[in-house]
Structure 1
Amino acid sequence: MVTPTSVTGNSIVRRARTLDLMSESRNTPGQKNDTGWDVGVRKTVDTPPQKLWDYLLGEGLPLWLGEIESLPTKKGVRYQTTDGVRGTIRAFTAGKQIRLTWQPQDWPHDTTLQVTVSKSGPGAIVEFHHEDLADRDERRMMLGHWHNVTDSLVDHFA
């Protein structure tokens, strides 16, 4: 069973230890001084880290990225989902982290998405950190999206 966690600085309480990552040094949450907006969502999932990682890059890939046969893991390789999300792999550390550019078909700009999995007691923490969002509205939309994704992960492993 997971318990709510309170986060200081930007007090929020979410089930399954959700953290809306916002820098305390910014005047406006999620706004970066030089490159737009960012958002992060983190949750504890009741499964070992490797099992979560395998799911994220296998059966669960459509949940967070879109329909794609497999995601390349080599830096510099491009990908595209069947629904038009495209990008390039920027970094990959097996079992721990993937960083990629992420651009839906109807967006005029690309963004950077980092997915990280780490150990937390008997379970794992999954974190989605999305950078270079265009504005507050895009940030708000992606915050909702990543909360839905992490909620689905928690439910899948419950």
Structure 2
Amino acid sequence: MPTGLTKDAGWQLGVRRTVPVPSDVVWDYLTREGLVVWLGETVLGATGEWYETADGTRGQLRSRSEGVRLRLTWQPTGWAHDSTLQLTLQRAVSGTTIAIHQERLRSAQDRASLLIHWRAVLGRIVEQLAVR
């Protein structure tokens, strides 16, 4: 089976970076001013509520484990389907590991382009957290 192809969830990807910042500071950033960096210009409401970004990406917040994980559906403009996006924080010896996992992608091409996207997003997050 090719890398990234699952038996039940289509194509998936995962990227992670560790930052030398406490997890509570990272969480606060990602759910407030950093939301625009990884999700887009929007507001995430309570679990079960829908969101739409300024560029038309839309979805629903499926679960929120405060300080640890956000799980949501993610459907950019032009996609006929949604995917599942999960952002997780994990304490690390040197700070906090930020992990992005996405599943229910339709193709290897989607996976490849989104790997580039999410790696760039994590790079911007790391840069932003470095100046806090």
Aligned pair partner of 1:115 in 75, 79, 87? 87
Give the whole-Å Cα distance in 2 for the aligned partners of 1:100 and 1:88. Answer: 5
* Equivalent position amino acid for 2:47 in 1: K
1:97 paired to 2:69:
yes
CA distance in 2, matches of 1:35, 1:125: 24
**Consecutive unaligned residues in structure 2, runs of 5 or more:** none
Instruction: Indicate conservation of the 8 Å contact 1:37/1:133, yes or no.
Output: yes
In the alignment, what sits opposite 2:29? Answer: 55
More helix by share: 2
- Deviation of 1:97 after TM superposition, in Å, equals 0.3
The structure with more radius of gyration: 1
Q: Which runs of 5+ in 1 are unaligned?
A: 1-26
User: Which portions of structure 1, spanning 4 or more consecutive aligned residues, are displaced by more than 3 angstroms?
Assistant: none
Q: Give the number of the structure with larger relative contact order, counting CA–CA contacts within 8 Å between residues 6 or more apart.
A: 2
| TM-score, normalised with respect to structure 2 | 0.94
Identity rate of aligned residues, in percent?
Answer: 42
Residue 157 of structure 1 aligns to a residue whose secondary structure is helix
Q: Matched residues in 2 for 1:121 and 1:157: separation?
A: 17
Structure 2 residue 12 is the aligned partner of structure 1 residue 29: no
Q: Secondary structure at the match of 2:18?
A: strand
> Alignment length, in residue pairs?
130
Displacement of 1:47 in angstroms is 0.7
Local SS of the residue matching 2:63: strand
